[in-house]
């Protein structure tokens, strides 16, 4: 199968219609995509949460916008790097905690409710899909709202740790104004980081780590298997807001292609799976998904414009 066939061959409509603007045109072809593929898995990345105020890691060409995030082995083996992570997270976490789902999250929840989407696999750790109402979500890289002890395995709420960090550290560190960065990160000076006190596990005194898969870490096998099973059962894979530069997400595109399933992408920039995709839309995912979800489930309330 040639995964690069044209939009015309899949949808039966012209690739250009002078009576439509680009959003109308893309919404029409995306609606047809949903109609022709009853069981769809959505794979989402950082781009879907950008409108909620959580920045992306990369630009439209796949290049880093910030310094590379902490790696798994660094967190495990280097106490200074752990302190740096928690110092920056103490300032950056409230921005993720207080973020609200945008219309792309809301549209996916509505499409799930209407039976058009079976599972959402998200590379994000912000839990915005769940807050928007999606019920069948696999958090591929974990969840930032929870912390786990590396020694005893006990979990605690991230807000509980935030309260302890706040109580243990001076207001000057807690209240410094920093620009938004991905996944609850924040820029802090080395001097501020040196003075930060990080609480230990309240159960055993062990090392606390966010319940996420850092770069260089391994996604739990059972989680990967669940994602693969969802892709196997689906008629098509829809990628939204991801450059797919990280293999943990790209592997599902490769598996879908091997199984001869349709792959479609909503992303303004280049992705690692562009040559595997049947079609690609480059309009804003919130505007596009919102329009399509209202067409396919017209009884639903309109999205919050955020």
Q: Which residues are catalytic?
A: 141
Specify the DSSP element, H or E, that contains 129.
helix 128-132
Structure tokens given for 137: 């979500």
What is the DSSP code (8-state) at residue 125? S
Contacts of 42 by beta carbon, 8 Å cutoff, 6+ apart: 108, 117, 119, 120, 121, 238, 239, 240
Q: Which residues contact 224 (CB under 8 A, 6 or more apart)?
A: 251
Six-digit token pair at 88? 């920056």
d(CA 95, CA 144): 12
CA distance 263 to 278: 6
């Amino acid at each position: 199968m040639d995964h690069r066939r044209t939009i015309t061959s899949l949808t039966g409509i012209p690739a250009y219609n002078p009576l439509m603007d680009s959003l109308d045109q893309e919404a029409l072809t995306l609606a047809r995509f949903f109609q022709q593929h009853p069981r769809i898995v959505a794979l989402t990345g950082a781009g879907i949460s950008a409108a909620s105020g959580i920045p992306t890691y990369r630009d439209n060409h796949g290049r880093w916008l910030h310094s590379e995030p902490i790696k798994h082995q660094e967190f495990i083996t280097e106490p200074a790097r752990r302190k740096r992570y928690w110092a920056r997270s103490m300032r950056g976490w409230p921005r993720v905690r207080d973020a609200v789902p945008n219309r792309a999250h809301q549209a996916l929840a509505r499409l799930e409710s209407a039976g058009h989407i079976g599972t959402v696999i998200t590379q994000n750790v912000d839990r915005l899909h769940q807050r928007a109402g999606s019920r069948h979500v696999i958090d591929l890289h974990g969840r930032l709202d929870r912390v786990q002890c590396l020694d005893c395995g006990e979990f605690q709420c991230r807000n509980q740790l935030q309260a302890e960090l706040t109580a243990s550290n001076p207001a000057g560190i807690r209240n410094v104004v920093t620009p938004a960065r991905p996944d609850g990160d924040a820029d802090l000076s080395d001097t501020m980081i040196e003075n930060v006190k990080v609480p230990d596990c309240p159960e055993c005194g062990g090392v606390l780590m966010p319940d996420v898969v850092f770069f260089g870490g391994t996604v739990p096998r059972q989680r990967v298997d669940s994602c693969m099973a969802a892709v196997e059962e689906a008629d098509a894979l829809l990628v939204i807001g991801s450059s797919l530069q990280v293999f943990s997400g790209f592997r599902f595109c490769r598996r879908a292609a091997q199984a001869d399933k349709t792959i479609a992408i909503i992303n303004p920039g280049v992705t690692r799976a562009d040559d595997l995709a049947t079609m690609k839309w480059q309009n804003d995912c919130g505007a596009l998904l919102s329009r399509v979800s209202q067409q396919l489930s017209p009884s639903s309330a309109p999205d919050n414009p955020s």
